[in-house]
Structure 1
Amino acid sequence: MSPLLPKEVPAHATSSPFALWRHWWRRQTPRLQDAVAMLVPLAAVLLFLSAIVAAFWYLRAEELEREQESVRRDVEYAQQRLRLQLLERQEQLMRIARDASTREIDAAEFVSRSESLSSQYPVLQSVSWIDDRRRFLAVYSAPSVHPAQQHLVGDVLRPGEVETNYALARELRQPVFSQPAFGTDVPGVLQLHIPLFDQGLFAGVVLAEFSVDAILRYGIPPEVTARYAVSLLDGNGKLIAGNTVSPIEPTPHFLPWTKRVNEYEVPVSPVGNGLILRAQGYRTSQGLVGNGLFWLVMALSVLTSWILIGNWRHTRRRQAAQEALVAETNFRRAMENSMPTGMRVLDLEGRITYVNAAFCAMTGWSEQDLVGQSPPFPYWLEADREIMNERLEEELHGRSLPGGFQVRVKRKNGTVFNARLYVSPLIDAKGHQTGWMTSMTDITEPTRIREQLSASYERFTTVLEALDAAISVAPIGSEELLFANKLYRLWFGSNTVGHLSIVAQAGVPPATTHDDAMDEVDAFAGLPIDTLTGAQPANNEIFVADLGKWLEVRSRYLTWVDGRLAQMVIATDITPRRDAEDQSAQQADRAQAASRLITMGEMASSVAHELNQPLTAITNYCNGMVSRIRSQQIDEESLLSALEKTSRQAQRAGQIIQRIRTFVKRSEPNRTPSDVSTMVSEAVELAGIELRRRNVRLNHYVAARLPIVQVDPILIEQVLVNLLRNAAEAIDQAQRPSSRRSVELRVLPRMIDGNEAVEFSVQDTGAGLPPEVMERLYEAFFSTKPEGMGIGLNLCRTIVESHKGRMQAENIYNGPEIVGCRFSFWIPVLDSTRSLTSDEAKVPA
């Protein structure tokens, strides 16, 4: 036996260190084994963490140093590039300033060169030429410049930082960059003041403004902006352009898991005059772990795992029962707390022995406040105490209702809510009753919704019953009447006969019936229900002989409450409106006839004068022939010639009378294909009598090959005659000399909204129309004539609009002077193959 080993150790135990460790462990007490089992894993974990922290701290420090060097190099490169670009823009602007100071360019050329320079370099926002009196002589601003930053020619430089830099450039006699200016509403700018000298004397400055955002966008290389968050700061460190990365350091910076922002700042001076360029790295990586540290971590991990497994095997039997008990308790507690229904347990004496969390949440009282309480309970209302006592007695004696009962419950804060209580006996595991279990549900919201639905239904029914329209709803494929309001029941009764009759007369396809015994497939399978229920209602007007009423019918499809497709029909009594429309149409016809009679009445003297000429000629011819026959001084040929002349004069008088009779005759509108030239010539013939009486010349021009129009020629002639007479009266009232007493009638083709039309225009040389008259020109019974009735122009516009045309009036100006007025209207050329509808054939009232 070796003298170095203890005597208790057997000789075979010295074969390996593991055997020695096992022998030593078995000789230790359980308390010591538990302590070792707890301390060794802890020591191993701490050692593992220490090694990890040391390794990562070393690698992190080395990596941060490399990243910092990379940031510094990239930022200095970007700063040099940005500075060179600004100096280059300065040189280009100095050339423009030199040409401006020597008067080689004027303001227009200055603006042109500034615009060319700004379009070539987007960083340049505006260039201004300011003289020695601080006035802007020429200004160019890019379209993107904010309105608050724009200058106008003639403005004077306002006091402030710009004026300070202006004075500084004058004193230093060299270009000066200003501090970057920015505000909350306007983008930041960097100003450059280049002094101008004329023969050694200060002559102003050239003010150039650079966009700070554009300097950062176009001046920084893309490879730098891709790797860093680049920003520009002013002299106080305030951000004026770009973006930043906020540093996040939840732990001390010397730990390996610290997240720090790798950044570097460098001034752009002297070009930027206080401008600072800063770059911040977006992220930093952890790098790779060396082989030595890797194996160290692996060894410590294996050791920790082995020790933890041994500790787990040692304590698992002891923890199994505890975990099962905790799991069962937590499960039951979770079930109780997750129930939305309040639970209360009463013992056989009526005391509260248990309440769950939901019951406490409903009432606002805690479990300590309620458990052990005897009636009256704190959540009872004072007014309901007698009722609650009766309910409690019924509950304790087993006489509670199976469907529960509704009560009012008072919360701890004094508010009241409605609840429904259900009571059942509480039986223990041995089958003995130990109390009563009561479940409570808050029914405040369902009660409120039920009351609102009831009130809403009552309001809905009241409104529908009071409507002056008959409303009915019937399902498709059935003769059942789903709904009918009071007016429908008054008109048609309580069946679907009236509903189906209205649908049939209105032209809506009625609901077809279907025999389910013949086919088990749904009769409406495949119908686009969404399209039907979303369709827009159509209006139809029908006459119901049984009622003696005109009804306006509107129908639509909808999905009924039970899912069936139904048809709703709304019928409104429009009998008074139809009667008024018929009466209005009759009055319009009478007004047209009256207008023509009034027109011919006013033209009576002129017509008499016109008829006097042919009648006088006839009398003279007849007297001459009688005298020559008596004296036997006429031959047969002379007699025939005189008779022919007499016949022509009689025909002329007859044509005048026939034309007047046709014009005045009252007849229904008759639209026929009409020739425009014929209508114009007949209207000119009628109106020419009045024009000649007033000594007014008429010049008319009708374009050749005008299309045939579908109109009532008498009505169009009435419009033309009225306009020509009004023109003659306007000239007469203006007392124009003979050289200016003329009316011009022009008929030309034109295109209106892509459609072919014929335009009629009547232009006079009168005094025109005042603005207040122009606004009321077509108003019924409004007239500027002392003896006028005010229906002429109103009827003219009505006739034109009944032919789908438009009418307008305008004054003719010669400078500021009104030299006449022009009335014009156009009639569309309708397709001769298309028949006119009944609405188009009527002249609206």
Structure 2
Amino acid sequence: MPFKNLVSLPSPMELPPVERARRWWRRLTPHRQDRVAMLAPLAAVLLFFAAIVAALGYLRVEEIDREREAVQRDVEYTQQRLRLRLLERQEQLMRIAREISSRELDLDDFRTRSESMINQYPELQGIAWIDDRRRVRASFGTAVRTAHELQQTFDPAKRNDTDSGFSLARESNQPVYQQRVWSTEFAPLLQMHIPLNERGRFSGVLMAEYSVDGLYRYGVPSEVSARYAVSLLDVNGKLLAGTVIPNKKTVTGLLPWTNPTNEYAMPVSPVGSGLVIRAQAYRASLGVIGSGLFWLVATLSVMTAWMLIANWRHTRRRVQAQQALMSETNFRRAMESSMLTGMRAMDLQGRITYVNTAFCQMTGWTESDLVGRTAPFPYWPDADREHLASHLEKELAGKTVPGGVQVRVKRRDGSLFDARLYVSPLIDSQGTQTGWMTSMTDITEPNRVREQLSASHQRFTTVLEALDASISVAPLGSDELLFANKLYRQWFGTQSGGHLQLVAEAGMPPSPTNDESQDSVDSFAGLPTSSLPDTDSENAEIFIRPLGKWLEVRTRYLSWVDGRLAQMVIATDITSRRLAEEQAATQAERAQTSSRLITMGEMASSVAHELNQPLTAINNYCNGMVSRIKAQQISEQDLLGALEKTAHQAQRAGQIIQRIRSFVKRSEPNRTPSEVSVMVAEAVELAEIELRRFNVRLNHYVAARLPLLMVDPILIEQVLVNLLRNAAESIDIALRQTSERIVELRVVPRHIEGKPVIEFSVQDTGKGLAPEVMARLYEAFYSTKSDGMGIGLSLCRSIVESHLGRINAENLYNGTEVSGCRFSFWIPMTEAALPDASANSAKAIKPLDI
């Protein structure tokens, strides 16, 4: 067959490792080959160093394990020695305890045997015989002091370690070991309490004290203490006896290269966890870090790695420089292509050598169409070629304009746009000029915006000129007038005198004077207008005599277009409004006077009846005196008495007439500090005539120590009289019984809307107010009376509100039935109305029945 001689290619897995490595190396990019060539030797050095460290570490770990096993064996051996020694003493002491319990041992024999044991065994410090009442029967050695301390302990809160061991031995009936707390007064001691049982009854303990240091000296084998640092510790790990090696775990913070100290600890039986023996091996070897071979290998590895890294860094810097150069070139090309400003380069002869993408997009011509071209260029408009040619000649001659020049440019489709050209010399790296660089910016849109702003400014100026208010702007500290509209120029001319006059007469903060004649910098420039303090005189009404007008002046500070701080003043003619306000005030005053006259007209019959009594009395007194004088039947004393009574009645009639005159007399409002009690008394005196005519009883109450009110007393009396008369008429219309014909007047202090006020309230027992009447209650010329004018309550409301108060009306209910009406109004207290200002005012008036 023809295909019989073909040889099949082996698969990659069938190739030898060296061949597979070659193929893999060839598939890598040059950059990756450089990185692998650098990292492979460095990885080999690090692997070699890691292998050496691992081998040395393994050997060191094996050595530490063997040492730890040896320490454990020696500690267990030492613990057995201590255990046997303690058990021997325990057996001897328990034998003495049994003899004491069976009363075979008296006190003298006890002292003898105790002395013998203490002398024979150095670790035994003292023995004490204590009965069940903690009394010391006999003691020897250091146990004398401990036994006496036990005997003196009665307070449970002050029990010591000895008392705790005594209690444990009594409860468990077994020998108890107790570790006594170590203090500076005595060395560490170990107590053993053996219970005494006499005929099955607890009869005390046999207490023995061991010196922990003695146990260490005579119980620890010398061969063990020579190899290790052996120590006896309490349950908290506190050293009682022996030596200790500082643990490197605490000293070095368990760093990975430190050699930990081999140690082993276990409790001493039969004491238990109260006494622990610990052995620490002395470190004689330097470990892995201290090995000379380690440092030799480490030094060689570091030197090799350093040389490899230095070579790699040098190569990397060269690669980075190449990449930076390529990135810079690409960035400049991208920047030139993406910028919106057109760039054009020409040589010294005026031939185009370079144009960027933006220039081509602006003109519509490609780079191949423009490069190499000379004037006239295809983007020049036909009508402007002569002008552009002369401008190009000036550019090539070096006569460039720093601010650029505005020209028209023709696109390829024939459309035109406005552009600004900036020309600068083109300098090469040797500092030689090789041509000219031109930047072109499309300013069609800015020109359109500038034209719109100009038109908008013209419209704004037209509006300001047509305003019926004077507007002027002047900088602070200068006599310059920055802006003035038409009305200002008609009133004050073109100077800043009128502006300063308005500011001065309005009482506004004057502009600070500043001599800037020798300084071109405004000292107020940059001062933020928000930091200027607000004043109460920013809105004022003034009268300008030369103009014969009332002006409302408003001012504010603003930052002028050049950064200077300026003051704007707006003056509005309010002469007609002031005249209307004065006429309205005059009409209101006339309405108040008319209301009082109408009130007195309605009360005329009652006033005539009131005056009839004193006049009749005067007539009777005079006729009586004439008759008795003619009959010569009167003495001088009787004549004087009759004349005094006549004078009293005449004075009473005069007071009634004077009160009526003062009430109806027209006068200007005069707000003075007035006493509430006096105003109420005079109003009641005027109203009681009308109330008596309607057969209505008045109860009034005025709170004591009320402050003075800054009011017009006549106006407040007018409000009270109107409300009292309306209450009496309401009761009369309701046809109430005599016992129900009552009007209550109360004057008390209150807090309304968060401020202190004086409240006046008039309450009647009439039929109340209908809903439709309540809705139109204060409407002028609206009245429910057939002969009423409808101005009483409207004037009352105006008077109260002119005193910054409020008036209110509400119906009173007895279940669902209306039982009366309550009118109330309040007047706010002024700051001058201090609590002691009414110290001389009348006290609370008792209820008065009329």
Given the two structures, how large is their TM-score scaled by the length of structure 2? 0.54
Aligned to 1:407: 408
CA drift at 1:643:
4.3
Select the structure of larger CA radius of gyration: 2
2:731 matches 1:731: yes
CA drift at 1:472:
2.2
> d(CA) in 1 for partners of 2:30 and 2:576?
108
Alpha-carbon distance change, 821 to 532 in structure 1, aligned in 2, over 3 angstroms: same
CA drift at 1:654:
2.4
> d(CA) in 2 for partners of 1:539 and 1:459?
28
CA drift at 1:505:
1.9
1:607-634: CA deviations, max 9, x gaps?
A: 2222233333334444455555566666
Alpha-carbon distance change, 322 to 737 in structure 1, aligned in 2, over 3 angstroms: closer
CA drift at 1:770:
3.1
2:806 matches 1:810: no
CA drift at 1:823:
1.2
Letter aligned with residue 507 of structure 1 = G
CA drift at 1:600:
0.6
> d(CA) in 2 for partners of 1:394 and 1:44?
65
2:651 matches 1:655: no
CA drift at 1:348:
12
Asked if structure 1 preserves the Cα contact closer than 8 Å seen for 2:473 and 2:483, the reply is yes
> d(CA) in 2 for partners of 1:740 and 1:587?
40
CA drift at 1:481:
2.1
Aligned to 1:702: 702
Aligned to 2:540: 540
> d(CA) in 2 for partners of 1:442 and 1:50?
64
Aligned to 1:272: none
Aligned to 1:508: 508
3-state SS of the aligned residue for 1:542?
strand
Asked if structure 2 preserves the Cα contact closer than 8 Å seen for 1:533 and 1:556, the reply is no
> d(CA) in 2 for partners of 1:315 and 1:799?
96
1:536-595: CA deviations, max 9, x gaps?
A: 671222221111112222334444334444333222222222222222222222111111
CA drift at 1:641:
4.7
Asked if structure 2 preserves the Cα contact closer than 8 Å seen for 1:376 and 1:385, the reply is no
Aligned pairs, number:
559
Aligned to 2:589: 589
CA drift at 1:424:
9.1
Aligned to 1:555: 555
CA drift at 1:490:
0.7
CA drift at 1:452:
3.9
Aligned to 1:758: 758
Alpha-carbon distance change, 594 to 329 in structure 1, aligned in 2, over 3 angstroms: closer
Alpha-carbon distance change, 328 to 492 in structure 1, aligned in 2, over 3 angstroms: closer
2:458 matches 1:458: yes
Asked if structure 1 preserves the Cα contact closer than 8 Å seen for 2:524 and 2:565, the reply is no
Asked if structure 1 preserves the Cα contact closer than 8 Å seen for 2:409 and 2:416, the reply is yes
> d(CA) in 1 for partners of 2:311 and 2:672?
114
1:801-824: CA deviations, max 9, x gaps?
A: 333433222221222222111112
CA drift at 1:636:
5.5
Alignment of 1:358-397 (within 5 A): 358-363=358-363, 367=367, 386-387=382-383
Aligned to 2:682: 682
Letter aligned with residue 598 of structure 1 = I
Aligned to 1:472: 472
> d(CA) in 2 for partners of 1:569 and 1:441?
43
Q: Which runs of 5+ in 1 are unaligned?
A: 1-31, 57-294, 835-845
> d(CA) in 2 for partners of 1:321 and 1:526?
51
Asked if structure 2 preserves the Cα contact closer than 8 Å seen for 1:807 and 1:826, the reply is yes
> d(CA) in 2 for partners of 1:597 and 1:37?
115
Alignment of 1:81-160 (within 5 A): none
3-state SS of the aligned residue for 1:678?
helix
Alpha-carbon distance change, 556 to 785 in structure 1, aligned in 2, over 3 angstroms: same
CA drift at 1:783:
2.7
2:822 matches 1:826: no
Asked if structure 1 preserves the Cα contact closer than 8 Å seen for 2:526 and 2:563, the reply is no
Letter aligned with residue 383 of structure 2 = I
Aligned to 1:667: 667
Alpha-carbon distance change, 441 to 679 in structure 1, aligned in 2, over 3 angstroms: closer
CA drift at 1:723:
0.5
> d(CA) in 1 for partners of 2:576 and 2:728?
43
1:155-185: CA deviations, max 9, x gaps?
A: xxxxxxxxxxxxxxxxxxxxxxxxxxxxxxx
Letter aligned with residue 787 of structure 2 = E
> d(CA) in 2 for partners of 1:404 and 1:374?
20
1:404-461: CA deviations, max 9, x gaps?
A: 442255588x9975323467999999xx999997642121343244234323432332
> d(CA) in 1 for partners of 2:394 and 2:789?
97
Letter aligned with residue 656 of structure 1 = I
Alignment of 1:311-326 (within 5 A): none
Alpha-carbon distance change, 721 to 321 in structure 1, aligned in 2, over 3 angstroms: closer
Asked if structure 2 preserves the Cα contact closer than 8 Å seen for 1:44 and 1:300, the reply is no
Aligned to 1:60: none
CA drift at 1:794:
2.2
Aligned to 2:6: none
3-state SS of the aligned residue for 2:343?
strand
> d(CA) in 1 for partners of 2:730 and 2:791?
17
3-state SS of the aligned residue for 1:490?
helix
Aligned to 1:171: none
When the two chains are superposed, the root-mean-square deviation of aligned CA atoms in Å is: 5.5
Asked if structure 1 preserves the Cα contact closer than 8 Å seen for 2:473 and 2:566, the reply is yes
> d(CA) in 1 for partners of 2:747 and 2:322?
110
> d(CA) in 2 for partners of 1:297 and 1:531?
71
CA drift at 1:765:
1.0
CA drift at 1:512:
5.4
3-state SS of the aligned residue for 1:669?
coil
CA drift at 1:41:
7.7
Alpha-carbon distance change, 630 to 303 in structure 1, aligned in 2, over 3 angstroms: closer
Aligned to 1:566: 566
> d(CA) in 1 for partners of 2:678 and 2:311?
122
Letter aligned with residue 687 of structure 1 = A
Asked if structure 2 preserves the Cα contact closer than 8 Å seen for 1:409 and 1:418, the reply is no
Alpha-carbon distance change, 578 to 299 in structure 1, aligned in 2, over 3 angstroms: same
> d(CA) in 2 for partners of 1:567 and 1:300?
81
Aligned to 1:168: none
> d(CA) in 2 for partners of 1:811 and 1:304?
105
> d(CA) in 2 for partners of 1:464 and 1:777?
47
Aligned to 2:599: 599
Asked if structure 1 preserves the Cα contact closer than 8 Å seen for 2:744 and 2:762, the reply is yes
> d(CA) in 2 for partners of 1:49 and 1:364?
60
CA drift at 1:726:
0.8
State, as a whole percentage, how many aligned pairs show the same letter. 64
> d(CA) in 2 for partners of 1:322 and 1:508?
72
Aligned to 1:799: 799
Asked if structure 2 preserves the Cα contact closer than 8 Å seen for 1:348 and 1:396, the reply is no
CA drift at 1:825:
2.1
Alignment of 1:641-652 (within 5 A): 641-652=641-652
Letter aligned with residue 387 of structure 1 = A
Alpha-carbon distance change, 391 to 632 in structure 1, aligned in 2, over 3 angstroms: closer
CA drift at 1:504:
2.5
Aligned to 2:78: none
CA drift at 1:351:
9.6
Asked if structure 2 preserves the Cα contact closer than 8 Å seen for 1:532 and 1:557, the reply is no
3-state SS of the aligned residue for 2:758?
strand
Letter aligned with residue 782 of structure 1 = Y
> d(CA) in 2 for partners of 1:489 and 1:301?
92
> d(CA) in 1 for partners of 2:44 and 2:34?
15
Given the two structures, how large is their TM-score scaled by the length of structure 1? 0.54
Asked if structure 1 preserves the Cα contact closer than 8 Å seen for 2:465 and 2:485, the reply is yes
Alignment of 1:299-338 (within 5 A): 333=333, 336-337=336-337
Alpha-carbon distance change, 450 to 648 in structure 1, aligned in 2, over 3 angstroms: same
CA drift at 1:323:
9.5
Aligned to 2:617: 617
Alpha-carbon distance change, 636 to 435 in structure 1, aligned in 2, over 3 angstroms: closer
Alpha-carbon distance change, 411 to 721 in structure 1, aligned in 2, over 3 angstroms: farther
